[in-house]
Each structure stands twice: as C-alpha cells, then as structure tokens.
C-alpha cells in the first residue's frame, strides 16, 4: 500500500461514460496517478490512453488486476461483473470503488463485503446523487433540526422513454439483476435513507410492471449499451412502500418507461414534525426546484432554496481517496451501505413476486426466506 508521501496508483475497469467519470476524477486529484485502464472497445481505449497519457491498457480486467501494484481500482462495467472484478481487485490488495448497485443481489454484495473485510481494504459504491447540492441542502435541514424528525418521504425517478437500450445487458435479467428498481431506484433509495438519517427498513410491499418494454416501446433515443441481443426480461415500472423502524415510512416509485409528462423527473417530498421539503429535478438539471416548508400551522413559511451544483463523481472519488489515505478508517468503509441497499431491493423484488409484504431482520435479510 502506498505511503502518505507517494502517489496513489489508480486503475479503472470500464471505459464507457461512468468509467470516464472516474478517470477524469483521478486525473484531477492531487497525489494520484491514473496508470491503467481496461475495456473491450479498442478505439475508445486508445483515445483515452492518449488523452490521459496511460501506457498500460488492457482488453481484460484480469490482466490489469494481476499487475498487483494498483492501490485503487474503479469498477464501471455491467452489473453482473461487479462482484468478480471487485473481489479480484480486493484480493490483489487494491481498494475498490464500484459503480452502483453494489451487485445484482444482496448475496453477491455480501461476497464483496466479505472480501473487503478479509483483505482489510476499502470498498465503496458510487452514490453520486447524494452529493448533489440540492440533496445535501435537504440533508442539512434535517441535521440542523429545521424539519424536526422526518417521518415520511415520497421519492421518485420517472422516465417517459428511458429504457437504456432495448436488447442490451440492461434488459437481460441475468446480467442486470432487474430493471429501473435496481438501476434508478437504488439511487432514490440511497438519497432518501441518507436524508432521513439511515433508519432501518423493517418491511417492504412492492409491485412491478412490464407493460411497455416487452412490446418494444419506451427505448431511449440513441441507446447503444453493449451486451446481448436479449428479450425484455425486467420491469419498466416499480413502486414500493417501505416501513421504517420507529414508525416512519417511504413511498418509492421508479420507471424507465411510462406514459407521463416530459422531461424525465426525479426528486423527493419529505414530511417532518417541524417542517418539510420538496425537491423536483426536471431534465437532469444540475440544481432542482427546492422548497423548505416550516411553520406552526397558523403561520406557514415556504422558503425557496437555490442550492449549488453538486460535483457528482468528482466528489465521490475525492471522498473515496480520503478514506483510502486514512488507514484507521478502512474497516468503517467495507461496502456495508451498498449492501444494505441491495438487500432492500432484493426484498422489493421478493415482495412483488410473492404479492405480499416482506419483512427484514436486523441485518436486512428477508425473514422466513
């Protein structure tokens, strides 16, 4: 492992949009050298190698990880590859930053967390939306007591025609682990639990629908995700009620394709004992329309908030590197947050399949499963 006085040597697996966000963040970070990348697209790999001055490029991740001299590895590939690559990199001695979700299932996520603990290395998952300025502003209003105790939230991410690419790995159940619930919903779940102070989810009741995708409708314009020529095997809309320890609740809704207004929209409405908040982000604006509500019922105050733009992947990578440099904190960053999200998503899918509420134990695992 590098000392405080030597550069952190970084490698990135995956050279699509997400992988390139990691590369740009490492390249901009002081005390970090981006020394290796791996990806299948030869022309893209060559262009990125020239852009960042990277001599070591690989078509397969195994060869890159086998170097054994990488301090950190980012994993930005289809979901079914998260676990094998992360586990391989951890066992090779690297700290790992994985794109969301942590894995296709909680079981795979647990294997990644176990590998991080055994290796004594950091494992973190990219939840870049919690780093948005508007999301951070709501979290601050909870932390400073402005809204009191939050007891209910309605959170959503809805698209009209946003299936990433019909027939790609995204719509193949084995490769992706699911549809918008595991793709977008895990972000929604993360920012909501983060804002509410990480309450434990005790039960979920969920439904999923696949009405447009199987008919070839709702595909994103220009979607060219790599993978397979798959039938549409996942949901295009999911809705869930989450019960929280202490009596709180969350309504979560997420879709890739629905007959709704455009543009795409995501956000949260939060109700607290002393106030509330409402955030709507349309068309992926860097800062959404945010209002904080306070008052005693007789005198109401609605305060519009213009939040600064967040830094997305840049902020996530920066925080990851801080944790990597702080050896005393490594055991606190073992992928547990990403695992908790995966187990809740598992429970939602189980509830939808079984047509009933599913309860979770104190470890987030499904009771009676």
Domain locations in the chain? 8-128, 133-309+344-359
Q: What is the CATH number of domain 133-309+344-359?
A: 3.30.360.10
- How high is the mean pLDDT in each 10-residue block of the chain (369 residues)? 76 97 98 97 97 96 96 98 98 98 98 98 98 97 97 98 94 96 98 98 98 95 68 97 98 98 97 98 96 88 94 96 97 98 98 98 90
Distance between CA atoms of residues 286 and 65, nearest Å: 35
Distance between CA atoms of residues 102 and 316, nearest Å: 15
Give the DSSP letter of residue 121: -
Phi first, then psi, for residue 170 (nearest 5°) are: -60, -35
Distance between CA atoms of residues 211 and 189, nearest Å: 23
Q: Which residues of 114-140 are buried (b: 16+ CB within 10 A; e: fewer)?
A: bbbbebebbbbbbbbbbbbbbbbbbbe
Distance between CA atoms of residues 294 and 303, nearest Å: 8
Give the DSSP letter of residue 324: H
Give the DSSP letter of residue 31: T
**C-alpha distances in Å from residue 274, one per residue of 168, 215, 293, 301:** 46, 47, 9, 11
Distance between CA atoms of residues 202 and 44, nearest Å: 45
Nearest Cα to Cα of residue 20 among 332, 347, 284, 314: 314
Residue 218 and residue 212 in contact, taking contact as beta carbons nearer than 8 Å: yes
Cα 146 from chain centre? 27
**8-128 carries CATH number 1.10.8.60:** no
Nearest Cα to Cα of residue 248 among 285, 281, 199: 199
Angle between helix 185-195 and helix 336-354 axes, rounded to 10 deg: 120
Distance between CA atoms of residues 147 and 221, nearest Å: 40
């Amino acid at each position: 492992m590098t000392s405080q006085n030597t550069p952190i040597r970084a490698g990135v697996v995956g050279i699509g949009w997400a992988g390139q966000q990691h590369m740009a963040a490492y390249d901009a970070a002081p005390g970090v050298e981006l020394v290796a990348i791996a990806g299948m697209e030869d022309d893209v790999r060559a262009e990125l190698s020239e852009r960042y001055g990277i001599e070591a490029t690989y078509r397969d991740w195994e060869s890159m990880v086998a170097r054994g001299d990488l301090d950190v590895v980012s994993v930005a590939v289809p979901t079914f590859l998260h676990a094998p690559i992360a586990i391989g990199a951890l066992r090779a001695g690297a700290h790992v930053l994985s794109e969301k979700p942590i894995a296709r299932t909680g079981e795979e996520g647990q294997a990644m967390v176990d590998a991080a603990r055994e290796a004594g290395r950091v494992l973190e998952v990219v939840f870049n939306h919690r780093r948005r300025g508007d999301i951070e502003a709501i979290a601050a209003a909870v932390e400073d007591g402005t809204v009191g105790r939050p007891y209910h939230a309605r959170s959503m991410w809805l698209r009209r025609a946003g299936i990433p690419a019909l027939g790609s790995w995204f719509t193949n159940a084995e490769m992706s682990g699911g549809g918008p619930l595991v793709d977008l919903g895990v972000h929604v779940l993360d920012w909501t639990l983060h804002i509410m102070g990480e309450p434990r989810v005790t039960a979920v009741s969920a439904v999923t629908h696949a009405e447009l995708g199987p008919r070839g409708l709702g595909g994103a314009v220009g979607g060219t995700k790599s993978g397979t020529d798959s039938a549409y095997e996942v949901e295009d809309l999911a809705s869930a009620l989450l019960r929280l320890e202490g009596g709180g609740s969350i309504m979560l809704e997420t879709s890739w394709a629905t007959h709704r207004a455009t543009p795409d929209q995501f956000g949260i409405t939060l109700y607290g004992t002393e106030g509330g908040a409402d955030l709507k982000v349309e068309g992926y604006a860097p800062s959404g329309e945010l209002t904080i509500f306070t008052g005693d019922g007789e005198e109401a105050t609605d305060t519009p908030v213009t939040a600064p733009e967040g830094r997305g992947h840049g902020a996530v990578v920066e925080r990851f590197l801080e944790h990597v440099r702080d050896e005393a904190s490594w055991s606190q960053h073992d992928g547990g947050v990403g695992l908790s999200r995966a187990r809740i998503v598992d429970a939602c899918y189980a509830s939808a399949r079984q047509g009933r509420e599913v309860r979770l134990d104190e470890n987030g695992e499904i009771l009676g499963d």
